Amino acid sequence: MPILTEPIGSIPRPVELVDGMKAHAAGSIGVDELNVLFDRAIKDTIKRFEATGSPVITDGEQTKPSFATYPINGLALDPGGVVIPFADGHTRQLPTLKAGPFRYQTYASDYLNKAITLTSLPVKQAVITASALSLLYPATGIEGYSNEAFIADVANEHEKDIRYCLAAGAYNVQIDFTEARLSLKLDSSGGLLRSFIALNNEVLNRLSPSERQKVGVHSCPGGDGDSTHSADIPYSELLPLLFGMNATNFYLEYAGEKNKVEVLEVIKDNLRPGQRVFLGVTNVLNPRIESAGEIRDLILEAAGYIPLSQLGTTDDCGFSPFADDLSTSRDIAFEKIRARVEGTRLAEKALEKTQVAI
């Protein structure tokens, strides 16, 4: 039985592109010049992705400003939104909305439409959750535009984002839900996580069962500058609620987890029929490239807990969810992806042998 393997999404941007994005933001290069850099980066990323042997690829999110902010890029916003603290002391701060009605400036299908013209391989597309965008409403409110009206707009726009990707021919759509684990840090009662899941499920429930087959959810402790925001929250608190999301595929950070047996037990106890879990087998926060044999062994161990028909592999997270994150090199990212693909094939072969022996 083949074990499915997929990337999460982002690949570190070439240094010339990161410099170009900064120069464009500072007004020293124009949009045409920036587009040349974008084009070059997407083409190079897809070519290198294909060379890893990965059966499913992405555009490496080369033109996304970040996994979370692409829908609001270019929108007039105020500073001073929710602050996300990382373990190494740095922070990222969300902006807040100035006025309604809320509409995406960019749908993820724009990225996909470009990528699928450059490869014959299946392309997956990541989108941001409705719950992350729900955090953009300012605490002081917006005159004439209630929080309820805003949330309804967010849900409708998120639904469009998913549907446009499916219509554009996405192999599948992955909803990046990095605030899931973070929410348990902000509210250990689980109330905030439950409200996030309820909002996201409201949108997922609008999809047909066959559409939901192509929809997954990514959860991780955050990854930025090789640091995390919620790695100290155990999976035993997150997964019982997370698997309540009405999606088929779950892409979980795993290689970076300290107590893997405990994680496997929680997955085994909570994964629902019809759901598939893709375990991260490459640690995106550590520059050491895993060997294919080491990855094979991780998968074989997991196969003792999770039925093969419900098990896949992935990377722990995107390699650069924020465009300016150069903490990992492109070379390391692609080598890790190659190791994931090879390790997954080795595990398949080892499991075939066991099955023949039985």
Q: For Zn ion, which is the closer residue by CB, 256 or 343?
A: 256
Q: For Zn ion, which is the closer residue by CB, 20 or 318?
A: 318
Among 236, 255, 268, 267, smallest CA distance to 298 is for 255
Q: Residue 250 CB, nearest distance to Zn ion (Å)?
A: 12
Q: For Zn ion, which is the closer residue by CB, 116 or 220?
A: 220
Q: Residue 61 CB, nearest distance to Zn ion (Å)?
A: 12
List phi, psi (to 5°) of 58.
Answer: -135, 180
Q: For Zn ion, which is the closer residue by CB, 220 or 339?
A: 220
Q: Give the 3-state secondary structure of residue 254.
A: coil
From residue 121 to residue 140, what is the string marking binding to Zn ion with x (rule CB under 5 A)? --------------------
Number of C-beta neighbours around residue 6 at 10 A: 24
Instruction: Name which position in 17, 133, 220, 299 contacts Zn ion (CB under 5 A).
Output: 220
Q: Residue 196 CB, nearest distance to Zn ion (Å)?
A: 15
Q: For Zn ion, which is the closer residue by CB, 168 or 220?
A: 220
Positions in 267-286 near Zn ion (CB under 5 A):
none
Among 102, 105, 103, 104, smallest CA distance to 138 is for 102
Number of residues that bind Zn ion (CB under 5 A): 2
Among 70, 104, 108, 4, smallest CA distance to 321 is for 70
Cα–Cα distance between 236 and 267 in angstroms, integer? 9
Q: Residue 202 CB, nearest distance to Zn ion (Å)?
A: 23
Q: Residue 176 CB, nearest distance to Zn ion (Å)?
A: 6
Q: Residue 132 CB, nearest distance to Zn ion (Å)?
A: 12
List phi, psi (to 5°) of 266.
Answer: -65, -40
Q: Residue 218 CB, nearest distance to Zn ion (Å)?
A: 6
Q: For Zn ion, which is the closer residue by CB, 220 or 238?
A: 220
Label residues 237-252 b or e (16+ Cβ within 10 Å = b): bbbebbbebbbbbbbb
Among 219, 112, 123, 225, smallest CA distance to 176 is for 219
Q: Residue 293 CB, nearest distance to Zn ion (Å)?
A: 25
Peptide linkage before 209 cis (omega within 30 of 0): no
Stretch of 20-28, 142-150, 218-226, 303-311 contacting Zn ion, by CB under 5 A: 218-226
Rule CB under 5 A: is residue 341 a binding residue for Zn ion? Answer: no
Cα–Cα distance between 168 and 275 in angstroms, integer? 24
Positions in 145-184 near Zn ion (CB under 5 A):
none
Packed helices 179-186 and 235-242: angle between N→C axes, nearest 10 degrees: 120
Compute the residue count for the chain: 358
Q: Which residue has the tokens 């500072």?
A: 26
Cα–Cα distance between 146 and 222 in angstroms, integer? 30
Positions in 289-328 near Zn ion (CB under 5 A):
317
Q: For Zn ion, which is the closer residue by CB, 157 or 253?
A: 253
Q: For Zn ion, which is the closer residue by CB, 153 or 253?
A: 253
The footprint of Zn ion (CB under 5 A) covers 220, 317
